[in-house]
Amino acid sequence: MEIRKSALVPYAAERMFDLIEAAEHYPAFLPWCAGAKILARDESVVVANIAVDYHGVRFNFTTRNPKRRPEWMAVTLERGPFRRFEGEWRLTPLASSACKIEFTFRYEFNAAVVRTLAGPVFDRIANTFVDAFVKRAEGIFGASQGPSGGTTTLSETGSTSDDRPD
The reply to whether 156 falls in a domain is yes
The reply to whether 150 falls in a domain is yes
- For 68, residues 6+ apart whose C-beta sits below 8 A from its C-beta are 44
Q: What does the mean pLDDT of the chain come to? A: 86
Mean pLDDT for the stretch of residues 59-68: 97
Number of domains making up the chain = 1
Domain that holds residue 131: 2-160
Q: Among 111, 124, 58, which residue's Cα sits nearest to residue 83?
A: 111
pLDDT at 56: 83
The reply to whether 72 falls in a domain is yes
The reply to whether 14 falls in a domain is yes
pLDDT at 144: 65
pLDDT at 117: 77
The pTM of this model reads: 0.84
Q: Among 68, 2, 85, 122, which residue's Cα sits nearest to residue 76?
A: 85
Range among 63-72, 117-126, 146-155 rated most confident: 63-72
**What are the tens digits of pLDDT across the range 96-141?**
999 999 999 999 988 887 788 788 878 888 889 999 999 999 999 9
The reply to whether 46 falls in a domain is yes
Distance between CA atoms of 61 and 129, rounded to whole angstroms? 16
The reply to whether 165 falls in a domain is no
Using 50, 70 and 90 to split pLDDT, how confident is the model at 158?
very low
Q: Is the pLDDT of residue 79 over 60?
A: yes
Residue 10 · residue 21 · CB < 8 Å: no
- For 62, residues 6+ apart whose C-beta sits below 8 A from its C-beta are 39, 47, 48, 49, 50, 77, 78, 79, 80
The reply to whether 166 falls in a domain is no
**CATH number where 153 lies:** 3.30.530.20
3-state secondary structure of 146: coil
User: What does the buried/exposed string (b/e) look like for 21-59 if buried means 16 or more CB atoms within 10 Å of the residue's CB?
Assistant: bbbeebbeebebbbebeeeebeeeebbbbbbbbbeebeb
